[in-house]
Amino acid sequence: MASNENLSGITSKVFDLLSKLNDDDRMKVIKATLTLLGTNLEGSQITKDFLIGTGKNESNNLIDNEQKYFSLKDPNTKVEELAVAARYLELKNSQHIYQRKELQNIILASRRSFDSKHYRRDIDKAKKSGLFTRGNNLTLSDYGQKYVETLPDRESIKKLKSPTKKKSQIKKTSKK
């Protein structure tokens, strides 16, 4: 445990570094740093305060603004967009089963295009990659939640345990 003097010195140094960044980049750096430190924020009050904002300042309220949330998570593919939209619904509405129309509305509200022609293909890819559970209900998996929470830090995502890796793949990578 650090002393109060150490904490104030560290806090000052962190403040100096973060004050040079814009709000979105600052949030990304803080989130990525906590992830690298191994801090599991999933479901904690810190995560809710961090994402939702505790003050009355509307600009901090990422959950009420799809565009800011997507900007923070920065999904690169349609599969990632679907997972980010699902996680947004979980955080905002405590909703864990989604319909196509709900995901579509969130993605469109974030000022991104929704590919309705390839929706089924993208959902199948998301399920095969382990972001969503398999079955009739469309539900974000535990891995999917962790994946979205780790975005946009792609290096940390590589460290997540993918539920789709087969034992033969694990053995081959460990022999190298």
For 95, counting Cβ atoms within 10 Å of its Cβ (0-12 exposed, 13-18 middle, 19+ buried), the class is middle
40-153 CATH: 1.10.10
The DSSP-derived string for the chain is ---HHHHHHHHHHHHHHHTTS-HHHHHHHHHHHHHHTT---TTSHHHHHHHH-SSS-GGG-GGG-HHHHHHHH---SHHHHHHHHHHHHHHHH---SB-HHHHHHHHHHTT----GGGHHHHHHHHHHTTSB-SSSSB-B-HHHHHHHHHTT-HHHHHHS--TT--HHHHHHHHH-
Inter-axis angle of helices 66-73 and 100-109, to 10 degrees? 80
pLDDT (0 to 100) of residue 153: 87
pTM above 0.95, yes or no: no
State which residues of the chain have pLDDT below 50.
45, 48, 52-60
What pLDDT is attached to residue 123?
A: 95
Q: What is the pLDDT of residue 62?
A: 55
Placement of tokens 């901090």 in the chain? 60
Looking at residue 124, its pLDDT comes to 95
